[in-house]
Chain A
Amino acid sequence: MGIFTQRGIKVGHNKRTSSIQPVRIEHCETVTLLMKQHIGVPCKPLVNPGDRVALGQVVGDTDAPLAAPIHASISGTVKRLEMIRVPSGEDVQAVVINTDGEMRPAENLEPPSIGTREDFFAAVRASGLVGLGGAGFPAHAKLRSAAKDANILLVNAAECEPYITADHREALDKGEAVIRGIRAICEALEIREAIIGIESNKSDAIQKLKALSTWHSSANLKISVGVLPSRYPQGAEKMMIHTLTGRVVPLGKLPSAVGALVMNVASVAFIGRYIKNGKPLVSRTVTVDGGAVHTPMNVRVPIGIGLEELITFCGGLDSPPAKIILGGPMMGSASPNLETVISKCNNSLLLFTRAQAELMQESACIRCGKCVAGCPMKLMPCVLESAYRAGDLETLTKRDAMGCIECGSCSFVCPAKRELVQRIRMGKRLLREEEAKRKEAAKA
């Protein structure tokens, strides 16, 4: 039944920035460090306007467990603290630093000494690492929660979103760091098997990682490369776990329920680098692409760089952007202006021309079933969408709207151009509100 059950969709790759190494931005005028670049509790600024800060110095932290500290990504002077509205609509406090042009590193940056598992978690927390693939879940919290159950580490280098090649370059250029990261994680969590999952369209990275993983495998730790079909959304955790291990994550559960720990390849490579040089998370690779930008490329940027400065680095704009997307075209968020900054979990900045940004008018559902065939979670998007429009919470629950991973495959394939995932998202919100109401009522 393979042809009837093959899920996911084919999306044009548009990965034209994969052939050259990322270019590092050496000089950056200003960075704006958001105090919330992760899922969880926002950090509190630890510096005041006028303070001199060094590269890698902690400028924001909190006692809350679900958070990761923020480090200065350039050296210079704190200009001001301000509130910034991020594309998600949230208002977030930010520390603005003006460069002194020196990139002077902080004095206490040393490789962490790791003896126990707890040391490892503490080191990962101190490094400021959050999931670099886009979700931004604090890495130490993820590792800690996975420690008990995980028996396999899956390194996510699928990069199934169009345009983005940042992870592809990471896998290709930082293969050694990836392996070092895998070994560190597996050692700390006593995991004996690791698979690097990578889509078949990245043959150079597959070759390199295959060679490295064979070389570094041992009796205690088997490292291998799993080639994934180039089908969106293979990089989604649950899809990847299924393809690589055959395990099915129960609906509504986390990967740890089947003993899997999935980490983005850039996060793993970062851990590999961090345990060697102790340099916290102050920069990341960002793919800048889209028809409006002059030179599409991968850029190694200091975290917190403004979009305007980044675009200038990429040769400026060829035409005024009609859509500004942080993240991939399938799951990224659109920004209304260029006043936003790159945060830890932004893997890409896309500047679309009018032709690229134009969306077609919605028309009636013709019940072609493309959304159902394409849904990686085996949901019925068209049914959920009409249930949302009817306010039919019963159908939303019965047909598992909460299982939607919001990958956008349904909206992509819909010939009637219906806003399927958009409305399912709203439907999930309705369900969550309803659930909250019920809990409230139960309490009273």
Chain B
Amino acid sequence: MSEPKNSETKKSNANPAPNNSAERPAAPQVLPQVLVSTSPHIRGVRTTRGVMLDVCLALLPALAAAVWYFGLRALVVTAISIASCVLLEYLSRKIMKRPQTVGDLSAVVTGMLLAFNLPATLPLWMIPLGALVAIVVVKQMFGGLGQNFVNPAITARIVLMVSFAGEMTKWAPPLDGKLRWATDAVASATPLKVLSGGEMPTESLLDLFLGKHGGSLGETCALALLLGAAYLCIFKVITPLIPGFYIGTVALFAFIFGGFDWHFALAEVLGGGLILGACFMATDYSTSPIHWKGKVVFAIGCGLLTGLIRFYGNMPEGVSFSILLMNLLVPLLENLTAPKAFGKEGKHHGKTRKAS
């Protein structure tokens, strides 16, 4: 009620009476090179760049397989995709006057994943267009790394797919490691297309596993992709939850609705983009739930949607659409599956267990 009085008392507090001042410590001397911060004073060695580098390394076997099957053009497609993603990331940060983040290598990962989702025969000028969608529209416009709510590479693939349906589904038949420029751009059916036509693909299951079939350049070789995924799991970059439950759900779905034929179910798992999607796209940190319960629900949802689209939809392939749809559900899942704080359940009270 009396402002001036208050401020006066404050003042007199700030300038203590002489008899108190003797007791007050002098302002503590701060040694010039000594850092002061709150705990913890040490940090783990893992960095964002390290995580991204791990993902890039994990994608290398699949890249090698792509070159083996689809020629050097696969490498060129990947290089252009990475270069345009990195350049666009750099430019958008620059134009938006935000701290430069191109060094975190996340744009390299996006570039590689985008390329893996494209046919090796795609006209090269379409690639930067995809990169523009992925990096500028999906990622940077929503605030950059960690803020995008859908997977950049998948969205870019879908945009290219609906824009250039012809070019995006012209699958080249695989070469056999004869290091050539490229395969002849003959339209060939992917195993999934054949499967959705109600027939078994001509390739053997082993060929499907090794990647000797038509498809996007990085999706065909299940062996290489699984090697990369194993690397990521061993170094704890990802958990096997999403790949496991996603692939498992699709396999089960195909087994049940495909007439209990395990051969058919395996062809469904290996013939399309499922392994790439489940191991590298659905596991994207920004667009998948954080908690393990959420991850399981997310993965099963992806699997069911993939099965539904493949069996009852118009398209032979449904991986990218299902991941995109489930991406949109992540905030909801996150809320529903948030962990309960330790001690909040209160169901263990008084229970005793003997110590070892």
- Residues of chain A at the chain B interface (Cβ within 8 Å): 4, 7, 9, 11, 82-85, 91, 93, 162, 195, 197, 224-227, 238, 242, 244-253, 258-259, 320-325, 327, 329-339, 350, 352, 354, 356-357, 359-360, 363-370, 372-373, 376-380, 382-383, 399-400, 403, 406, 408, 411-417, 421-422, 425
* A367 contacts B146, C-beta separation under 8 Å: yes
Which of B30, B35, B36, B39 meets A331, CB within 8 Å?
Answer: B39
Q: A330-B42, A352-B41 are in contact. Are A251 and B48 (CB under 8 A)?
A: no
**Residue B40, interface by CB 8 Å:** yes
Q: A195-B355, A364-B146, A380-B339 are in contact. Are A247 and B29 (CB under 8 A)?
A: no
Closest to B20 in A: A83
Q: A85-B25, A337-B34, A377-B341 are in contact. Are A368 and B285 (CB under 8 A)?
A: yes
A334 touches B356 (CB 8 A): no
> Given contacts A322-B35, A337-B34, A357-B41, is CB(A364)–CB(B25) below 8 Å?
no
What's the Cα separation between A245 and B353 when bound, in Å? 5
Besides the contacts A336-B29, A408-B39, what 9 more A-B pairs have beta carbons closer than 8 Å?
A91-B24, A248-B346, A329-B42, A333-B38, A359-B43, A366-B145, A366-B286, A368-B51, A425-B38
Given contacts A226-B355, A336-B31, contact A415 B25 (CB under 8 A): no
**In this assembly, does B342 line the interface, its C-beta being within 8 Å of a C-beta of chain A?**
yes
| 12 A-B contact pairs sorted by A residue (CB < 8 Å) | A11-B44, A82-B23, A246-B352, A325-B41, A331-B39, A339-B29, A359-B43, A366-B48, A372-B339, A379-B341, A403-B342, A412-B43
Closest to A370 in B: B46
Please determine whether B341 and A323 come into contact, CB atoms closer than 8 angstroms.
no
Interface check B338, CB cutoff 8 A: yes
CB-based contact B341/A251 at 8 Å: yes
Q: How many residues of B contact A (CB 8 A)?
A: 57
B4 CB-CB contact with A under 8 Å: no
Whether B36 pairs with A238 at a CB distance below 8 angstroms is no
CB distance from A384 to the nearest CB of B (A): 11
Contact A364 B38 (CB under 8 A): no
Which 7 interchain pairs have the tightest Cβ spacing? A246-B353, A408-B40, A226-B355, A369-B290, A251-B343, A400-B341, A248-B348
In the complex, the chain B residue whose C-beta lies closest to that of A9 is B44
Tell me, in angstroms, the Cα distance from A339 to B27 when the chains sit together: 12
Chain B 32-71, CB-CB to A under 8 Å as 1, else 0, gives 0111111111111011101100000000000000000000
Contact between chains at B29 and A399 (CB < 8 Å): no
Which one, A224, A258, A417, contacts B349 given CB within 8 A? A258
**Which one of B34, B340, B346 has the highest number of Cβ atoms from chain A below 10 Å of its Cβ?**
B34
A246, A253, A357: the one within 8 Å of B35 (CB):
A357
Contact B43 A377 (CB under 8 A): no
Residues of A close to B43: CB separation below 8 A? 359-360, 411-412, 414, 417
Determine the distance from Cα of A399 to Cα of B353 in the docked complex, in whole angstroms.
29
Interface: B167 (CB within 8 A): no
Tell me how far the C-beta of A294 lies from the nearest C-beta in chain B, rounded to whole angstroms: 18
Which residues from B are CB-within-8-Å of A411?
40, 43
CB <8 Å contact, B51 and A415: yes
Residues in B neighbouring A359, C-beta threshold 8 A = 35, 37, 43
Residues from chain B with Cβ under 8 Å of A400 in the complex: 341, 344
B343–A323 CB distance below 8 A:
no
B351: interface (CB < 8 Å): yes
Give the residue name and chain of the A residue nearest to B296 (CB). Answer: A4
Are B44 and A412 in contact, CB atoms less than 8 angstroms apart? Answer: yes
B128 within 8 Å of A (CB atoms): no
Cβ–Cβ < 8 Å partners of B341 in chain A: 251, 377-379, 399-400, 403
A-B contacts, CB under 8 A, total: 211
Measured in the bound complex, the distance between the Cα atoms of B355 and A224 in whole Å is 8
Determine if B40 and A415 form an interchain contact, defined as CB atoms under 8 angstroms apart. Answer: no
A382-B25 in contact (CB<8A)? no
Contact of B339 among A197, A335, A378 (CB under 8 A): A378
- Render B288-329 as a binary contact track against A, CB cut-off 8 A, 1 for contact: 001110000000000000000000000000000000000000
Which one of B40, B339, B342 contacts A330 once the chains associate, using CB atoms below 8 Å? B40
Residue of B nearest to A374 (CB): B44
A337 touches B48 (CB 8 A): no
Evaluate contact between B352 and A366: CB separation under 8 angstroms: no
Partner of B342, one of A248, A366, A422: A248
Asked if A403 contacts B343 (CB within 8 A), the reply is: yes
B47 touches A417 (CB 8 A): yes
Chain B residues with Cβ below 8 Å from A162 are 42
B350 on the A face (CB < 8 A) = yes
B134 to chain A minimum Cβ distance, whole angstroms, is 16
A-side contacts of B350, CB under 8 Å? 247, 258-259
Answer yes or no: B248 CB below 8 A from chain A CBs. no
Interface check B28, CB cutoff 8 A:
yes
Contact status B41-A364, CB under 8 Å: no
Closest to B356 in A: A227
What is the distance, in angstroms, from B155's C-beta to the closest C-beta of chain A? 17
CB-CB < 8 A to A225: which residues of B?
Answer: 355
Asked whether A399 lies within 8 Å of B25 as measured between CB atoms, the reply is no
Chain A: minimal CB distance from B2 (Å): 18
Knowing A226-B355, A323-B41 are in contact, say whether A369-B291 is a contact too (CB < 8 A). Answer: yes
CB neighbours of B29 from chain A (8 A): 336-337, 339
Is B101 on the interface with A (CB-CB < 8 A)?
A: yes
Cα-based distance from A377 to B347 in the complex (angstroms): 16
Complex Cα spacing A162 to B29, Å:
28
The answer on a CB contact under 8 Å between A339 and B42 is no
Q: Which residue of A lies closest to B103 (CB)?
A: A363
Query: B344–A251 contact, CB under 8 A?
Result: yes
B35-A244 in contact (CB<8A): no
Q: Which residue of B lies closest to A253 (CB)?
A: B343
Q: Please, which residues of chain B bring their CB within 8 A of the CB of A325?
A: 41
Minimal beta-carbon separation of A328 from chain B (angstroms): 8
Question: Among the listed A242, A364, A370, which residue makes an inter-chain contact with B147, where contact means beta carbons less than 8 Å apart?
Answer: A364
Closest to A225 in B: B355
- Which B residues, 137 to 166, have Cβ-Cβ distances below 8 Å to chain A? 143-147
**Cα-based distance from A365 to B144 in the complex (angstroms):** 10
A380 touches B338 (CB 8 A): yes
State in angstroms the CA–CA spacing of A337 and B34 once bound together: 7
> Beyond A321-B34, A322-B33, is A380–B291 a contact (Cβ under 8 Å)?
yes
What's the least CB distance linking A33 to chain B, in Å?
A: 15
CB nearest to B290 among chain A residues: A369
